[in-house]
Amino acid sequence: MTRSDKRILWVGLVCLLFLAGWGTIRAILSLDAPPPDDADLRPSREEIPEDRNALASFKQAGEKVDLSLDAREELQDLLDVRQYDQAKVDDLLRRHAEALALWRQGLARPALQVPPVDDIVADLGYCCYWLEIARLVDLSALSLCRQGKDDEAFHEAMSIVRFGRMVMGADGGLITFLIGKTVEEIGLVRLRRMIPQARLDKGQLALDVRELARPSPPGADLADALRLEYQIYTKALDDLYSGNPLFGGGSGKSGGRRRTPAPAFHLHVNRTKGMFAEVMRPCVENAAKPYAEMVWPERPATVRKSVSWLPWTFITGNAIGKMMFAALTLDYKEYLEQKCTRNISVAATRLLLALKGYKMDKGRLPETLDELVPAYIEAVPPDDFDGRPFRYSASRKVIYSVGKNLTDDGGDDPAYDKIDELAYGEAEAPVEVKDLVFPIPF
């Protein structure tokens, strides 16, 4: 055997050893982990009978709303008290009378439930129409208030709050939660704006305070929405691994075209589900806690390294799983902050109603919020940021939350002296938010 033949033999041997070694490594890296224990992250869904579900009425109402740019700008202008015109308000409400009638039919139903959401791109676009309906009802409440019909105006605003809560509990994931939260806030802001001049009896004020109380455990609606997001992500992984269409046909209902299943080396379904569970579980648990007690999960280190150096993703296996995880996981901390802000808004509105009733009786504001209990409110609501009772300054006539910096700044942050004007674009948003301050303008 010549030297050249030996060299060729050695090269061939090295190549064979390399291929055998790489095949062994690839086989090892193709091994998936056991299925994660994620029973606590699976949402429960109890189907609501059609005759009890408000969905059909709300969808029909949305289809009747004029969503043209001119109509939306007109509505926004009329909600600004500086541009209010009663004749134009009457005309706009008349043009939407059919939509509002259908909406009221839906509101009379006990619950709202959207079709099962099991697809990353599920069609929930019709929910966006409900924001415009809420603004139309808000305009109706404003009109009634300006006409001195306080009872009817408060009823309209409370209807918006109920509508928002129905949407939040509609089993539509984060989309319906966020839309419902926005709708509820429209009603809460309207209530706070009407309280100073309201001419209501104590019984009606007490009824509104009780109705605004949280109907379910704190954070339950957000926790359910996060569980549904986890289910959507894990189903997408199963569809990708099995070759089912990812978009608009994963369950076979839309006739999507099957695709080639993802190779085991590039997609570890169970391991990726475990990464999603590692991030989602603390967020679900956080939903029931005040902000100060929340624990924030970190993205798995293997994913951070893979995203920062792409070749490493393909060398170490599960490239598709890591990239799906990186693309789909959101900043859930922001949603949990919004949950706290929402609970603060509800608590502040209830306190303002209770303070209004107290002042109607006593002719003055109380020295402490404890004086409201139990005649005007069953208990001083907690600040959902630090878990302590809501703050109150009788001298400055404000109630306030410490906000996400968890520091009591005395309720003197001027940025939030006009907190409700921010909701209507009538004031500029502060650069830095400290305490969340709600003035007591009566």
Per residue in 63-89, pLDDT (tens digit) is 999 988 899 999 999 999 889 999 999
Task: State the chain's mean pLDDT as an integer.
Answer: 85
In eight-state DSSP terms, residue 215 is S
Kindly tell me if the per-residue pLDDT of 147 is higher than 60: yes
* Listed residue (352, 32, 40) closest to 190, CA to CA: 352
Partner residues linked to 437 by β-bridges: 400
Q: Which of 34-38, 136-140, 244-248 has the lowest mean pLDDT?
A: 244-248
Quote the CA–CA distance of 420 and 156 in Å, as a whole number: 18
252: pLDDT confidence band, cut at 50, 70 and 90? very low
Quote the CA–CA distance of 280 and 38 in Å, as a whole number: 10
265: pLDDT confidence band, cut at 50, 70 and 90? low
Kindly tell me if the per-residue pLDDT of 304 is higher than 60: no
To the nearest 10 degrees (0 to 180), the angle between helices 150-168 and 97-107 is 70
pLDDT tens-digit readout, 25-44: 555 556 788 999 999 999 98
pLDDT, mean of residues 129-139 = 96
* Listed residue (222, 182, 55, 76) closest to 124, CA to CA: 55
Cβ–Cβ < 8 Å for 206, 374 = no
pLDDT, mean of residues 348-373 = 96
pLDDT tens-digit readout, 199-231: 888 788 888 899 998 666 778 999 999 999 999
Q: Which of 8-22, 107-121, 195-209, 242-256 has the lowest mean pLDDT?
A: 242-256
Q: Which of 44-58, 63-77, 405-419 has the lowest mean pLDDT?
A: 405-419
Quote the CA–CA distance of 162 and 135 in Å, as a whole number: 14
Quote the CA–CA distance of 397 and 412 in Å, as a whole number: 11
What is the per-residue burial (b if ≥16 Cβ within 10 Å, else e) of 73-90?
A: ebbeebbeeeeeeeeebe
